[in-house]
Amino acid sequence: MAAQTPVSEKIILGVDPGTVIAGYGVIMVRAGVMRMLQYGVINLSKYTTHQLKLQKLHETMHRLIEEHKPDEMAIEDPFFGKNVQVMLKLGRAQGVVMAAALSRGIPIVEYAPRRVKQSVTGNGNASKEQVSHMVSNLLEVDLNPEFFDATDALAIAICHHFHENALPVRSTKKTKKGAWGAFVSENESRIM
């Protein structure tokens, strides 16, 4: 009897960080087939201070990580906005989400919103409705159309699956000036 080759399986946690609503989506990829495990939103609007919002976001990320034990996390890259205060708060939310994954040794990959839309719909300018519709088709599930932050998070996880070789690796290529990767490669002595 011939030995069977093991079927590869990967669990990806996709996160669309936010300071009012944060979306998450967990998919399993087994032998190239995607299946949704869970998706939802974290409603942070009921918390009165930014610190409480960050604490709740961090606790929920830890709970999701403990429950699903993801192999990788995919997160939406922050986009540049005009309101500096909003960008600061969004950056903190993203940092809290990333810290939860890093504390468990989970690799993180960031994707720009345009790249996520392009990967899932074929159009980098797709609407949230179009993204939700395609995510529903790709995962073969009915999704609640009111949870756009959650379907965005699933789209981020799907995008990561489509680009599964995107985990950070050391490269001798020059990166964009000011990019996080460039900072890390230029300051390796600062990494603990």
Look at phi and psi of residue 7 and say left if phi exceeds 0, alpha if psi is from -120 to 50, else beta. beta
Among 72, 110, 149, 152, which one carries the catalytic annotation?
149
Query: Is 149 tagged catalytic?
Result: yes
The one catalytic residue among 66, 71, 72, 76: 76
Count the Cβ atoms, other than its own, within 10 Å of residue 119: 19
8 A C-beta contact, residue 134 and residue 54:
no
Choice among 16, 72, 110, 152 that is catalytic: 16
Active site residue 72: no
Measured between alpha carbons, how far is 153 from 70 in angstroms, rounded to an integer?
14
Question: Is 140 a residue of the active site?
Answer: no
Where residue 107 falls (left for φ over 0; alpha for ψ -120 to 50; beta otherwise) is beta
Please list the active-site residues. Answer: 16, 76, 149
